[in-house]
């Protein structure tokens, strides 16, 4: 019988909802990895898009520099309409900066507290110092006293010892539940702000894009081609994120003109096929915006950026839902673990022998190993939670050259 088939043992192991399996192909080799639930690909994606929002340009000069266009090439009416877009960009920047500097670090802090719980549960790998092992020993002593009809005072004292031990760890679970609830509420609030900004962006960006289309009907056709290439780029980046997770590495991104926040490929030996797929998508878009006439180049770049940003902000909103579900799942786990501890105290209060605790040493070792492995997964999330090179800005040529150089050195 395996540990997952043994109901008595399962009660003392880490809850299965604390982990999930992620599949990827680093080095173009299929690989699966069991990871801590906060390492969910959708959580990693949310982090990427939020960091991108925190880097949005908020002035015309910064915008032109970021998009690699000449300010004088922007028609005056378009520039005026873009000023309203930049007001919305500024709000998005502020909200995403707040998330990246407060909410996300708080999420990592929550993971730190979970790691601490795991460490106490496994006793740093020492079976005799592990919380659950100590609790099981106390319960065993209590059950023995009951079985042998020992003096009532002895039984009551041992029962009190068990309940004190249970209470100590119930308090820790209450703390984890409170922090998880705080994170869930922060995500809900952030989603509301993003939804408001999305409405404003759709309105203001829509006005600008209509102006551009009215000036040049070819913009609409180019927009469709750019949107398709941007979707291809987005799909390649999703594969990159899975590879980053299963390889237990930290994602690296850079801002690249109308593409926004994209993978700053530097290790083609791990992400080679993804680098090639991303480069092909970027080269296709580069061909569409590399115009001899500066005004047309500016128009295409602005339209392409607005198309991407509207999609990116909607993606943030779409990703917050799964992130909230992950936090709700954690809250449920803490409640289930707390309920299990409550059942122990309740059985003592009812004067009953405590059930499901007759575990031999081999199973106790499984408990310690389970929590030790769980801590390692949590710590991997903590060590890879922050994006590298968050303020790095690259030109299209710079990104392509970097990708080709990495491919040659792989």
The Cα 314–Cα 184 span in angstroms is 19
How many angstroms separate the CA atoms of 316 and 294, rounded? 32
pLDDT for residue 201 = 98
Q: How confident is the model at residue 40 (pLDDT cuts 50, 70, 90)?
A: very high
pLDDT confidence of residue 5: 53
Contact 333, 96 (CB under 8 A): no
140 or 272: which leads in pLDDT: 140
For the question of whether the overall pTM of this predicted structure is more than 0.85, the answer is yes
Would you place residue 410 in the very low, low, confident or very high pLDDT band (cuts 50, 70, 90)? very low
Reply yes or no on whether the pLDDT at 256 is more than 90: no
62 has a pLDDT exceeding 70: yes
The Cα 167–Cα 263 span in angstroms is 47
34 in helix, strand or coil? strand
Q: Across the chain, which distance is largest between two alpha carbons, in Å?
A: 96
Residue 73 pLDDT > 80: yes
Per the structure, the count of domains in the chain is: 1
Cβ–Cβ under 8 Å, residues 12 and 359: yes
- Quickly state the pLDDT bin for 267 (edges 50, 70, 90): very low
Q: Is the pLDDT of residue 95 over 80?
A: yes
H helices of 247-390, where? 268-289, 294-349, 361-383
CATH code: domain of residue 272: 1.20.1170.10
pLDDT at 174 over 50: yes
180 lies in which domain range? Answer: 3-409
Tell whether the model's pLDDT for residue 81 goes beyond 50.
yes
Query: Rounded mean pLDDT of the chain?
Result: 88
203-235: pLDDT as tens digits: 999 999 999 999 888 888 888 888 888 888 888
> What is the mean pLDDT of the segment spanning 294-301?
84
């Amino acid at each position: 019988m395996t540990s997952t088939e043994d109901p008595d043992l399962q009660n003392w192991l880490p809850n299965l909802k604390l982990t999930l399996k992620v599949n990827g192909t680093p080095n173009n080799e299929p690989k699966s990895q069991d990871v801590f639930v906060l390492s969910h690909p959708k959580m990693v994606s949310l982090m990427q898009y939020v960091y991108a929002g925190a880097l949005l340009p908020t002035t015309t000069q910064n915008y032109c520099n970021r998009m690699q266009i000449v300010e004088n090439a922007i028609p005056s009416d378009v520039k005026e309409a873009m000023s309203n877009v930049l007001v919305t960009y500024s709000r998005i920047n502020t909200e995403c900066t707040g998330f990246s500097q407060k909410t996300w670090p708080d999420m990592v802090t929550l993971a730190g507290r979970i790691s601490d719980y795991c460490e106490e549960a496994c006793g740093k790998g020492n079976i005799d110092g592990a919380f659950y092992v100590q609790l099981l020993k106390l319960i065993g002593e209590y059950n023995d006293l009951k079985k042998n009809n020992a003096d009532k005072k002895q039984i009551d004292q041992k029962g009190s010892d068990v309940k004190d031990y249970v209470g100590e760890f119930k308090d820790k679970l209450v703390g984890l539940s409170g922090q998880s609830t705080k994170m869930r509420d922060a995500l809900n609030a952030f989603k509301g702000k993003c939804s408001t900004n999305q409405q404003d962006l759709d309105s203001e960006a829509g006005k600008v894009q209509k102006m551009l289309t009215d000036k040049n009907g070819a913009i609409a056709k180019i927009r469709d081609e750019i949107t398709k290439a941007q979707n291809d780029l987005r799909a390649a980046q999703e594969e990159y994120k899975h590879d980053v997770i299963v390889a237990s590495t930290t994602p690296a991104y850079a801002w690249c003109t109308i593409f926004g926040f994209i993978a700053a490929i530097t290790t083609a030996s791990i992400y080679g096929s993804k680098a090639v797929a991303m480069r092909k998508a970027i080269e296709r878009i580069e061909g569409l915006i590399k115009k001899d006439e500066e005004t047309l180049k500016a128009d295409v770049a602005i339209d392409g950026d607005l198309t991407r940003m509207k999609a990116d902000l909607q993606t943030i909103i779409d990703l917050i839902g799964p992130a909230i579900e992950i936090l709700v799942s954690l809250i449920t786990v803490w409640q289930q673990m707390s309920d299990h501890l409550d059942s122990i105290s309740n059985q003592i209060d009812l004067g009953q022998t405590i059930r499901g605790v007759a575990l031999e040493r081999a199973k106790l070792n499984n408990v310690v190993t389970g929590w030790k492995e769980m801590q390692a997964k949590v710590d991997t999330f903590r060590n890879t939670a922050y994006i590298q090179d968050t303020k790095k800005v690259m030109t299209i040529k710079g990104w392509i050259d970097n990708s080709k150089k990495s491919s040659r050195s792989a």
